[in-house]
Amino acid sequence: MSSVEMSEGSVRVETCGDQPLFYRQTLPSSGAAELCVLLLHGIRFSSETWLKIGTLETLAAAGYRAVAIDLPGLGHSKAAPAPAPVGQPAPGVFLRQVSEALQTGPVVIISPSLSGMYSLPFLFQHSEQVKAYIPVAPICTEKFTAEQYSSVQTPALIVYGDQDIQLGEASLSNLRHLPNHKVVVMKGAGHPCYLDDPETWHKAVLDFLQSL
């Protein structure tokens, strides 16, 4: 894999009472990247997950800027006034402020599990700032109507593990109303399917990004 530049830092956003949010970032060794991928995470995870399974490095090696944040109260990000109770959609402005603070430009969002409470409102309220959407069995999909989904033209790659019979299939039944979507079902993989088969996960994400 080609060399990539890796760094850590924190950003402050108003929605969290200006409490710092921790992030990890990788850049292509050239330093130039046309597209930024913002990686969110589930409740038992953090930005470290994407470091451990090589997603941050893989994206940067393929020419993308990759930023993985620790969501409020998880990983290295302190519990601040949370933008919303767990399981309820957070204000879409939260990820807009994160993107602005990180100067991402229109961003690709990778959003597993818990992070659906943040990514879905951002997608619906600020779709012009979402270059593409990669949901991985996110929560909160049932909080929005088929009409809301069908109004979003953002390209989406819906990913879930075929062993995730609960959230995987439930989220798909809602997300399939996004008009511009593809589906990848990862064989033999559970709810955090990217952990079970990082190689298949990385190939699916890179193939999708290259199609944008």
As annotated, the active-site residues are 113, 164, 191
For residue 130, give the 3-state DSSP assignment: strand
* Under 8 Å between Cβ of 34 and 108: no
Is there a contact between 29 and 3 (Cβ–Cβ < 8 Å)?
Answer: yes
**Structure token digits, residue 162:** 């075929």
The DSSP 8-state label assigned to residue 2 in this structure reads: -
What 3-state class would DSSP assign to 189?
A: coil
**Euclidean distance between CA atoms 124 and 109, whole angstroms:** 13
